[in-house]
Amino acid sequence: MQTVTLNNGVQMPILGFGVYQIPPEQTEQAVTDALAAGYRSLDTAAAYRNEEAVGRAIKSSGVAREDLFVTTKLWVQDPGGDNTKRAFEASLRKLGLDYLDLYLMHQPFGDVYSQWRAMQDLHHQGRIKAIGVSNFHPDRLVDLIDHNDVTPAVNQIETHPFFQRTTDQEIMRERGVQIESWGPFAEGRNNLFTDPILSEIADAHGKSVPQVVLRWLIQRGVVVIPKSVRPDRMAQNIDVFDFELTDDQLARIATLDTGNSQFFDHRDPAMVSRLGQLRVND
């Protein structure tokens, strides 16, 4: 598996398995199948409410802990670092792990400074190998970097052919932050799976449209975590290292960029209020 080197030297697989929107009762089997297919990077979150199922699959898999890269995410907490640390301990307990490879602040809302400083403490203690953020636009990311000791290792943001985030990626590169994609297939919006440009490129390589999208992200240096509950699609999604897109094909995919989210804007006041007030931890 190809890896990227994070800003603190930690190696992270460029392709992993995500469990967003997989119901808890299906998650254990999905993660079991993903590990059997060769995935070693797993991405979950407290807000997904399936950390325990991920932990059960890890425990029963027989895969050595040191061979796994496990990410989970901190939801918006009440102010104060102690609340962040309690949320971290709850996630670790549900996963059945002694440490995390990557812990992300899920949303750029609430008392992000107390949350980040508590995450820094846990990182310094060796409880987390790397810490990062999710859904941070460049202005919020730069502000967090400029006023704290540890630069986020990762920023996980919506990234797909219709919202390519090239400017955001360049700013992250300048600041030493690894971009990671969520929603790589845009959940099929804009008829992604039958898009003429993507379909033609897929046919040229004898691959599927999802494989072309994943290969496009990987060639850009974007970490990606596709999800599926079907073993055949899991196997297909990881089979993207035996072909390469040409410069012309990359340029054609670039024309698909709309510059806008296909889901919702993290700067929309109503959405900020809604997410910022939601609590998910026990």
CA–CA separation, 212 and 38 (whole Å): 19
Query: Whose structure tokens read 């072909």?
Result: 243
DSSP secondary structure, 159-170, as one string: -BTTB--HHHHH
Identity of the residue numbered 189: R
Residue-level pLDDT at 155: 98
Instruction: Please check whether residue 282 lies inside any domain of the structure.
Output: no
Q: Is residue 263 part of a domain?
A: yes
For 80, the 3-state DSSP assignment is coil
Alpha helices in 176-242 (DSSP H): 196-205, 209-219, 231-238
Q: Is 48 a catalytic residue?
A: yes
Q: Are strands 11-13 and 3-5 parallel, antiparallel or unpaired?
A: antiparallel
- Nearest partner of 34 among 18, 21, 14, 49, judged by Cα: 18
In this predicted structure, what is the pLDDT of residue 230? Answer: 95
Token representation of residue 18: 């995500």
Domain membership of residue 37 (yes or no) is yes
Domain of residue 19, residue span: 3-277
Counting every residue, how long is the chain? 282
Residue 267 lies in a domain: yes
Cβ atoms of 192 and 202 within 8 Å: the answer is: no
Q: Is 228 among the domain residues? A: yes
Mean pLDDT by 10 residues, the chain (282 residues): 96 97 95 97 96 97 96 89 93 97 96 95 97 97 96 98 97 98 94 97 98 98 96 97 97 96 90 86 62
DSSP one-letter string for 236-268: HHH--SS----HHHHHHHHTT--SS-SS--TT-
Where residue 186 falls (left for φ over 0; alpha for ψ -120 to 50; beta otherwise) is left
**Burial of 24: CB neighbours in 10 Å, binned 0-12, 13-18, 19+:** middle
pLDDT at 282: 55
Question: Which is catalytic among the residues 20, 48, 99, 103?
Answer: 48
Q: Which CATH number goes with the domain that contains 26?
A: 3.20.20.100
DSSP class of residue 49 equals T
* Tally of domains within the chain: 1
- Is 96 among the domain residues? yes
CA atoms within 13 A on the CB side of 156: 27
- Here the tokens at position 4 are 């990227």
